[in-house]
Structure 1
Amino acid sequence: MRPVVAIVGLGVESSVFSPARTPGFAFLPARGAEVFGRYQYPFLADIDAVDWRGALVGKALPGGVVTARAFAELAEEILERLGAMTLLDGVLYDIHGAMTVEGLDDAEAWLLARIREVVGPQAVVSTSMDLHGNVSRELVRLSDLITCYRTAPHVDVAATKERAARKLAELLTGGGPLPVKAWIPVPVLLAGEQTSTRVEPGRGLYEAVAEVASEPGVTDAAAWVGYAWGDEPRNHAAVVVTGPAEDAVRAGAERLARHFWDARRDFAFVAPTGTLDACLDEALASSARPYAISDSGDNPTAGGAGDVTWGLRRVLARPEFRDPDGPVVIYASLPGPAAVATCLRAGVGATVTVTAGAEVDDRHGGPLTMTGVVHAVREDVPHADTEAVLRVGSVHVILTKERKAYHRESDFTELSLDPRAADVVIVKIGYLEPELYALAADWRLALTPGGVDQDLVHLGHRRIRRPMFPFDPGMADPDLSARIVPPFTGPEE
């Protein structure tokens, strides 16, 4: 009989510096066979040596801390679904790794410990993660295999999940021993916007990850940047190498950890940075079109609430944009359910006055009132529910009923907007996702306030382990020797 493997997991990036809270429904949980359709794992059909079973997988748009009630309810359902399955040979644990839950540290390891109680120590666990996740020793101990993305922006999501699944299937069907695990915590905590693999030193670091993974005696290698807007002892960079040969995994892990530490001062923002006003000045002075600007502090794909009005307020205050015939600007986006409803009722072409934003994060300005012409409306939109475009002067403001990330050209064209013909495209984002990066003639990363403010040193971390770079720039070199974590056999004494 084929080994039976359950697919299970919860994933979200949770900024503790945002006042938002993440409820259970935000995870859009897929159950049973829905797991295969919702998350599109076509490679599972190719790995037919294993009998894959969907349990529950939920992934939420990054946001605030997960409520204790939401996590408890989802965790209980996961355990019930696993308990109802036949004896399991393995678990594909599909997580992000940056989830913070009210009153609970290291939530992903806590959940995996409960899963282990249900499935037993004989089940082999393969954990698949985002490189912006956090890897504690306990998570490594509870996992037999553990890996993460090797690109940022993440263009290898499917490849990473497939690697985790294939390595698990090979281990279950090959009959070999469980791999040795070498874990090294690296006391560095940097934002994703400073560690992109598009440029050095991130590119070289992750090329080295692939090289170590190909060494004899190594099953897989992974390096985690960690999540900069969390505040737990596990929030730091980490390296894990797994494989049958202890000498090989130890050497590989130490090579990667040393590479990361030695490069720590070379990591820089992936684009030129400045204040929002300075970035706008540069955009207007430039002939490059379209010119993209990241409103980075309220980036909803990193954990920002998405409804901070500070950036849009600064844009609308610019005299250059008050005339409808001024430079064409697209701003994405600002949640405002009531504003969207007003636009929907009024219809395209109507002039309306609406108020939006600051329902969740009002620390940087209250709700924003605007008068403009309804340019477009769209219903039944994934994540946003309903969208509207309000033209205020020459600025096309995208309003949403619910938070939505704007990463693709179609996100704009489906709203009768042409980003390629715009002068300036301002998006609540950090580094530009691939489609936006490809269409932008030039771009800047604006350092703006919000729940994922890039000024990490002054944000107010209280619980990370110190010393930590860049919080303690003059710290002594850390111990980067490999910690060999034994195979899981049950609860530690």
Structure 2
Amino acid sequence: MTKRVALAGFLHETNTFAPSKATYAQFEQGGGYLPISRGAEILARCPGVNLGISGAVAHGEKSGWDMVPVLWTGAIPSAHVTRDAYERIAGEIVDGIAAAGRLDGICLDLHGAMVAEHLDDGEGELIARVRQAVGPDVPIAVSLDLHGNTTRQMVDAADLLVAFRTYPHIDMAETGRRAAEGLDRLMVRGRPFAKAFRRLPYLTSIPWQCTFIEPAKSLYAEVAALETGDIASMSYWMGFPAADIEECGQTVLAYGETQEAADRAAEHLYARVMASESAFAGRAYQPDEGVLEAMRIAQGANRPVVIADTQDNPGAGGDSNTTGMLRALLRNGAQNAALGMLVDPDAARAAHDAGEGAEIDIALGGQSGVSGDVPLAATFRVEKLSNGDLHATGPYYGGTHMNVGRSACLSVGGVRIVVASHKAQMADLAMYRFVGIEPTEMAILVNKSSVHFRADFDPIAETVLVCTAPGPMPLDAADLPWTKLADGMRLSPNGPVFRRAAARQQMEA
């Protein structure tokens, strides 16, 4: 008999320390995601795009599901999702599923690290509301980002949670397919899998979570290897270490034919992650130090040196407008360098008003009030203008069409800057090319990203350096003003331990 399956998605990675919240308008626009999509729009827009919903739909078509697409939306990471946005979107998803009639299963595409103004566990609450709407017997499968701060409520309310295994996330569609396949198994078997959930006691920094390097590379290979025999599904979340909630952190989850098998797999992976604690480390440079090192390397290279401006990563809640790395490039006389993307709608408007070839005196960037960061006042040349349309064909965005608003290439000294009006993480070569910059011809590229850019930039890069200019996403989680984190959590591998009593005393002092 044909399986009738509802599909929906609601994605946001919340940095509770970030300067700007996610409004309903951000979900309508979508940033680097698809714009908000309903019903048949989902089926029309998602094919060939690297998103969990795309993999789920592809599997549903192959398996002959009678698909009931409800709503799919995502917004670029930021501070909390506003109460208005959360309730409007969650309400539409739950009401749509409740009104769908008979359902054999539900496939949700979520992130796993959503925090709303009024809810610490955005996904857990949404899954629980869906569960209440459909009852205990309809299986719910969920695809999730490996940066999810997976909660007990999420585990209890869903029948299957499936995490990405790559960072950069080049397997988002693949993860959606795996979740959909798991849902098929659940619909056929008519009963849930046994599950075993474990929480790790330490946080890790985002740049060192990259699955191209150790220890994450080996850990995720082991996750895949464990998914055999009695183990139906295995997931490891490295967590998003900038969410001030109690359940922020790393987790592992095993689903098995028996409780014994699930417990054994979960304990094995837990032990491996614990044994890897010291390996989650890497070298980071101060802005001037990093630029000088990049200039030194570039002298003998025929490929660009790529610098990650990790603390203003819009993929982790930054506003993508700090000027620390731009100042370092100019201060040290860097030539044939480019930086992207710097989000400043006023600067983009001024460039369009002036026209290509004009010179404009403006104060660029620095609008988020980040400590140690201010706008850069200078005379810039308008090299090229764009309406913001671009087609990101690299492995991360996977063919996404996006619009970043009025945009321009501005130049000053030996540096060219991609200036846009809407946030999107610099993770695709097309995000330079759409304003006339050929990234492969540059000596130095500064990307406002931590890891995702590696999917498209590693093949053209001489090397990658990580720099820590002032920004809203500190490299070291110990630098964040925690209040709600689980008592006893280590803020970095082998690092300081968070104590709530001490945090309260510091706030009261």
Following TM superposition, by how much is the alpha carbon of 1:365 offset from its aligned partner in structure 2, in angstroms? 2.4
Pick from 277, 282, 294 the counterpart of residue 293 of structure 2: 282
2:234 aligned partner:
221
Q: Does 2:346 correspond to 1:338?
A: yes
SS of aligned partner of 1:220? strand
Pick from 464, 470, 473 the counterpart of residue 449 of structure 1: 470
2:405 aligned partner:
385
Q: Does 2:11 correspond to 1:11?
A: yes
Following TM superposition, by how much is the alpha carbon of 1:77 offset from its aligned partner in structure 2, in angstroms? 1.4
Pick from 430, 447, 456 the counterpart of residue 410 of structure 1: 430
Measured in 2, the distance between the counterparts of 1:462 and 1:379 equals: 42
2:275 aligned partner:
262
Measured in 2, the distance between the counterparts of 1:79 and 1:157 equals: 23
Pick from 138, 150, 164 the counterpart of residue 149 of structure 1: 164
1:479 aligned partner:
none
SS of aligned partner of 2:63? coil
Indicate if the aligned counterparts of 2:373 and 2:470 stay in contact, CA closer than 8 A: no
Pick from 105, 111, 122 the counterpart of residue 120 of structure 2: 105
Measured in 2, the distance between the counterparts of 1:330 and 1:458 equals: 29
2:420 aligned partner:
400
Measured in 2, the distance between the counterparts of 1:143 and 1:316 equals: 52
Please give the TM-score of this superposition, normalised by the length of structure 1: 0.91
Measured in 1, the distance between the counterparts of 2:280 and 2:158 equals: 30
Following TM superposition, by how much is the alpha carbon of 1:364 offset from its aligned partner in structure 2, in angstroms? 3.1
> Residues 72-91 of structure 1 correspond to what in structure 2 (within 5 A)?
72-91=87-106
Following TM superposition, by how much is the alpha carbon of 1:355 offset from its aligned partner in structure 2, in angstroms? 2.7
1:433 aligned partner:
454
1:376 aligned partner:
384
Closer, same or farther in 2 for the Cα pair 1:224/1:118, shift >3 Å? same
Pick from 38, 41, 44 the counterpart of residue 34 of structure 1: 41
Number of matched residues? Answer: 466
Indicate if the aligned counterparts of 1:336 and 1:355 stay in contact, CA closer than 8 A: no
Please give the TM-score of this superposition, normalised by the length of structure 2: 0.88
> Residues 168-317 of structure 1 correspond to what in structure 2 (within 5 A)?
168-172=183-187, 174-214=188-228, 216-269=229-282, 272-286=283-297, 287-288=300-301, 289-317=303-331
Following TM superposition, by how much is the alpha carbon of 1:48 offset from its aligned partner in structure 2, in angstroms? 2.5
2:505 aligned partner:
none
Indicate if the aligned counterparts of 1:309 and 1:364 stay in contact, CA closer than 8 A: no
Following TM superposition, by how much is the alpha carbon of 1:235 offset from its aligned partner in structure 2, in angstroms? 0.4
Q: Does 2:128 correspond to 1:121?
A: no
Indicate if the aligned counterparts of 2:7 and 2:107 stay in contact, CA closer than 8 A: yes
Measured in 2, the distance between the counterparts of 1:204 and 1:469 equals: 22
> Residues 359-370 of structure 1 correspond to what in structure 2 (within 5 A)?
359-370=367-378
Measured in 1, the distance between the counterparts of 2:493 and 2:60 equals: 49
CA RMSD of aligned residues (A): 1.8
Indicate if the aligned counterparts of 2:78 and 2:318 stay in contact, CA closer than 8 A: yes
Runs of 4+ residues over 6 Å off in structure 1:
none
Q: Does 2:365 correspond to 1:357?
A: yes
Measured in 2, the distance between the counterparts of 1:165 and 1:48 equals: 10
Measured in 2, the distance between the counterparts of 1:277 and 1:360 equals: 22
Gaps in structure 2 of 5+ consecutive residues: 29-35, 48-53, 390-401, 498-509
1:481 aligned partner:
none
Equivalent residue letter for 1:154? H
Measured in 2, the distance between the counterparts of 1:27 and 1:467 equals: 35
SS of aligned partner of 1:162? helix
Equivalent residue letter for 2:24? G
2:81 aligned partner:
66
Indicate if the aligned counterparts of 2:278 and 2:493 stay in contact, CA closer than 8 A: no
Equivalent residue letter for 2:21? R
SS of aligned partner of 1:183? strand
Following TM superposition, by how much is the alpha carbon of 1:440 offset from its aligned partner in structure 2, in angstroms? 0.8
